[in-house]
């Protein structure tokens, strides 16, 4: 055999080896991540964002016009019903009130003096009457004492009448004086201060906006497609983004009643079971409303279940993929509860892009690629 022939045979053998290797490489089973069903609870939730707001909120101000004199509270302050929040500056009313109060005090003092004099006059008349009966004093002395008593009775009645007049005058001034004060309509929080000292106001000017935080609701909006899954009474977990580690329980109290057809959303109202202390009016709140729960069912990672069209998984039988229909009975972004799948079945961790009939082999654990071991959720 010549050298050229030997060289051609060697090159041919090498070519066959390369072709065989290439054929094996191209046709070897594809490594994929595989999973088996697990038994777990699958909770389906509707997620929405909105804000916490007071059910009752009111603007308050003075009943009459004037100039703001003092403001006793600021935004964020907690107030009690009837608490004075601010006052108007009313010089004439202040003077009238001071005069009426002074007149009342003077009338009370005068009446006390006249009543004391009347007691003395009656005691003197009684003493002289006893002496006159025993002929120990002249009759004229008793007559003069009785006249003095009648005169003192008249003076006392006049003082009592003046006291009533002073009280009536004060009662006329007090309502007008009270109108200069702005008081809290209920227990709550001052969420806005609308005026400043020295500002001229009318009877229609709002001074403060007060929210009653004992009656609050969480208002959120969600896609109208969720309407079929929402029911009054469903429980929820609410979280304020500013305090993500302090969630609190809430309950769905109202769905709708109207749908915003322009945006395709519906409003939801929830009530917190107990408000945490950090809550403020109009604070942003995220809610997760539990709409369905599958307890102790057969579950797979969401990536393993195809839900476009009839739900199915890609089972692995004898090293090849086989599409298997399943029934979805619950789902959330991480897990899907299914029926119709054997507990010992093996399926692709990621069904996207898989074709039926492919030869596959388990990928090495911890390969760090899409379709790795399912996470916890």
| Single pTM value for the model | 0.54
Give CA torsion, residues 167, 98, 74, 64, to 10 deg.
70
With 60 as the cut, is the pLDDT of residue 32 above it?
Answer: yes
Report the pLDDT value the prediction gives residue 21, as an integer from 0 to 100.
45
With 50 as the cut, is the pLDDT of residue 20 above it?
Answer: no
Taking the CB of residue 199, how many other CB atoms lie within 10 A of it?
A: 12
CATH topology for 56-89+180-214? OB fold (Dihydrolipoamide Acetyltransferase, E2P) (2.40.50)
285-320 confidence digits (pLDDT tens): 999 999 988 888 899 999 999 988 899 999 999 989
Q: Are 85 and 79 in contact (CB under 8 A)?
A: yes
The residues spanned by each domain of the chain are 31-54+215-377, 56-89+180-214, 91-178
- Paired tokens of 127: 């003493």
Average pLDDT of the segment spanning 139-167: 89
335-367 confidence digits (pLDDT tens): 999 999 998 999 999 999 889 999 998 887 654
123-132 confidence digits (pLDDT tens): 989 988 888 8
Q: Are 150 and 122 in contact (CB under 8 A)?
A: no
With 80 as the cut, is the pLDDT of residue 25 above it?
Answer: no
Q: What is the DSSP letter of 344?
A: T
Residue 363 CB partners (closer than 8 Å, separation 6+): 31, 32, 33, 34, 369, 371, 372
Question: Which architecture, in CATH terms, is 31-54+215-377?
Answer: Beta Barrel (2.40)
Q: How does the average pLDDT of the chain come out, rounded? A: 85
Report the pLDDT value the prediction gives residue 34, as an integer from 0 to 100.
93
57-80 confidence digits (pLDDT tens): 899 999 888 899 999 999 989 999
Q: Which of 257, 293, 251, 256 is nearest to 272 (CA)?
A: 251
């Amino acid at each position: 055999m010549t050298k050229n022939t030997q060289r051609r045979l060697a090159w041919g053998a090498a070519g066959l080896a390369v072709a065989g290797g290439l054929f094996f490489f191209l046709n070897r089973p594809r490594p994929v991540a595989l999973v088996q069903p697990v038994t777990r609870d699958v909770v389906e939730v509707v997620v929405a964002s909105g804000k916490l707001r007071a059910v009752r909120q009111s603007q308050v101000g003075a009943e009459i016009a004037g100039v703001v004199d003092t403001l006793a509270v600021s935004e964020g302050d907690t107030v009690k019903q009837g608490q004075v929040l601010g006052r108007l500056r009313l010089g004439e009313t202040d003077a009238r009130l001071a005069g009426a109060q002074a007149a009342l005090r003077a009338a009370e003092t005068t009446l006390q003096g006249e009543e004391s004099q009347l007691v003395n006059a009656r005691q003197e008349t009684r003493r002289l009457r006893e002496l006159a009966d025993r002929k120990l004093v002249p009759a004229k002395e008793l007559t003069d004492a009785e006249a003095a008593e009648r005169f003192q009775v008249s003076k006392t009645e006049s003082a009592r009448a003046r006291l009533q007049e002073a009280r009536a005058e004060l009662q006329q001034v007090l309502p007008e004086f009270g109108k200069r004060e702005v008081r809290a309509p209920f227990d709550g929080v001052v969420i806005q201060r609308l005026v400043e000292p020295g500002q001229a106001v009318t009877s229609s000017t709002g001074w403060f906006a007060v929210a009653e935080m004992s009656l609050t609701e969480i208002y959120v909006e969600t896609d109208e497609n969720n309407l079929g899954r929402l029911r009054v009474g469903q429980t929820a977990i609410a979280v304020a983004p500013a305090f993500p580690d302090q969630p609190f329980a809430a309950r769905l109290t109202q769905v709708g009643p109207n749908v915003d057809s322009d945006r395709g959303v519906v409003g939801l109202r929830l009530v917190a079971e107990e408000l945490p202390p950090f809550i403020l009016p109009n604070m942003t709140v995220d809610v997760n409303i539990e709409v369905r729960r599958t307890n102790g069912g057969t579950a797979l990672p969401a990536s393993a279940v195809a839900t476009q069209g009839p739900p199915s998984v890609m089972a692995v039988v004898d090293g090849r993929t086989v599409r298997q229909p399943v029934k979805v009975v619950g789902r959330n972004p991480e897990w899907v509860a299914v029926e119709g799948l054997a507990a010992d079945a093996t399926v692709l961790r990621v069904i996207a892009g898989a074709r039926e009939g492919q030869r596959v082999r388990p990928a090495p654990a911890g390969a760090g690629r899409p379709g790795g071991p399912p996470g916890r959720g």
